[in-house]
Chains A and B, each alone.
Chain A
Amino acid sequence: MINEIVIAGFGGQGVLSMGKILAYSGLMEDKEVCWLPSYGPEQRGGTANVTVIVSDERISSPVLNTYDVVVVLNQQSLDKFESKVKPGGILMYDTYGIHKKPTRTDIKIYPIDATEKSIEMKNSKTFNMIVLGSMLKVRPMVTIESVLKALKKTLPERHWHLIPLNEEALKEGGNLIKE
């Protein structure tokens, strides 16, 4: 099983770190993983995207043109990546600021109110973990336990007290998916 994923949004939304945590979660399950960021010289405000591959087999190309799962967090990224979802694949987008909705009918589309949920949780930094929670509900390529292990691995010890909040965000993200 191979999961080819792209996460795209603005710099500062936690795009790259969401990808990194996902890749580390795969690592915790001894899967093959790969994380390739793409962003300009600026750190905040510009567009950023990251390709993550979580696979049971050896990964060939880290550079892809079509994806099984596309997660987009702004209109620009939605416009750019809608056409790059493999037929039958998944397109997930945060509804905040989206004025032109996706139109494809050969893929599964999941609008999620992640920005709204992060405001409700009174912490905008939970945003990317809410999105990750939603994504893993739709395509459970790694377990939430592995994500928590990955957080412990990637966060410096002084931030470990934030892990329960992240766990809550992952759960809330899963709850945004109603099928």
Chain B
Amino acid sequence: MNDKVTLMKGNEALAMAMIRYGAVCTSTSSPGFSLMQEGVSYLAASEVPALLINVQRGGPGLGTIHASQADYFQACKGGGHGDYHMIVLAPSSVQEMADMVALGFDLAFKYRCVSMILADGTIGQLMEKVVLPEQRPRRTDDEIRQQCPWAVNGRKGMRPSNVVTSLELDDDKMEENNWRFQACYREIEKNETRCELIDTEDCDYLITAFGTTARVAMKTMELARAEGIKVGMFRPITLWPFPEKQLREAAKNVKGILCVELNAGQMVEDVKLAVECKMPVEHYGRFGGNVPTPDELLNVLKEKLINK
């Protein structure tokens, strides 16, 4: 197959510098993603589509090689400088990991923005049944010229030069650029918010979780229901834009929410904002590569919300 190109770069900062001129995909694990933050900001400001994949490991620092979800803030609230957002996709199965590659590219090209897959060490190591989507052929240079009029791949005299840059020293023009970016983010919020709801119609308690912890919590839900405790599950698939309307609706009649994460409490802030703190919202986190077990979460649910 000569339509696939894989390049190996010396480090993450260099990889990002290349991506700015290539509209491609790169992957890394947490410390590497920190190195990429300058490039993410430049990509967002240059309006160049790219797909980034962070399979999170436990930090801070070099930390551990095992699973973590402690890069939620970095991914969703902007790890680089300036006002920008990435579309953040959170897979909780191998099938979703595979499907989100195509989805991530499509969204990045649709909005000329950066999208990312925020996975974790457990999903990264997991093997499951997967049906691979059909491979799409690489676009020809002419197709790129037609479909991406902003691309810098040679004009052939058809139109004025394209310039890809994040630099704009005229304040008014830079403000205008920012308004354009923000308008794009509002469009994304309107159109691309995704989530999964499980047994939320009749539930008394709601668990919110993404990625690996969502899978663990699904089993907790089964265990709880076997004991007669009505637990539902709210799993954001896009972490940004955060599905706040859907959560508000799902949480309407619940007695409490437990937000489970592999961090000290990050997504829980968005959960509280979404439900406007109208009911108790508790957080439970594990760190250092440790993942909670289903029965552990059931005990936490009882302790923090049910038997309180």
A and B associate in one complex: yes
The distance in angstroms between the C-alpha atoms of A113 and B96, with both chains bound, is 42
Cβ of B188 within 8 Å of any chain A Cβ, yes or no, is no
Whether A60 contacts B212 in the complex (CB less than 8 A), given A35-B126, A36-B122, A66-B295, comes out as: no
In the bound complex, CA of A156 to CA of B50 (Å): 35
B104 adjacent to chain A (CB < 8 Å):
no
**Residue of A27, A62, A66 with most chain B CB atoms under a 10 A cut-off:** A62
Query: Is A61 a contact partner of B122 (Cβ separation < 8 A)?
Result: no
Closest to B293 in A: A65
Structural contact, B293 and A34, CB atoms closer than 8 A: no
Check A33 against B294 for contact (C-beta < 8 Å): no
Q: How far is the CB of A30 from chain B (nearest CB, A)?
A: 9
A41 to chain B: closest CB distance in Å? 6
B218 near A36 (CB under 8 angstroms)?
Answer: no
A17 to chain B, nearest CB (A): 12
B129 touches A27 (CB 8 A): yes
Closest to A53 in B: B128
The count of chain B contact residues (Cβ–Cβ below 8 Å) is 22
In the docked arrangement, what's the CA distance between A32 and B215, Å?
Answer: 15
Contact among B127, B218, B294, B295 for A34, CB-based, below 8 A: B127
A107 to chain B, nearest CB (A): 18
A41, B296: Cβ atoms under 8 Å?
no
B219 touches A60 (CB 8 A): yes
Please determine whether B291 and A63 come into contact, CB atoms closer than 8 angstroms: yes
Inter-chain pairs besides A61-B220, A62-B215, A65-B296, 19 sampled, C-beta below 8 Å: A23-B127, A33-B127, A34-B127, A34-B128, A35-B126, A35-B128, A36-B125, A60-B222, A61-B215, A61-B216, A61-B219, A61-B294, A62-B126, A62-B128, A63-B212, A63-B215, A64-B293, A65-B293, A65-B294
Residues of B within 8 A of A (CB): 65, 122, 125-129, 212, 215-222, 291-296
| Residues of chain A having any CB pair with chain B under 8 Å | 20, 23, 27, 32-37, 41, 59-66
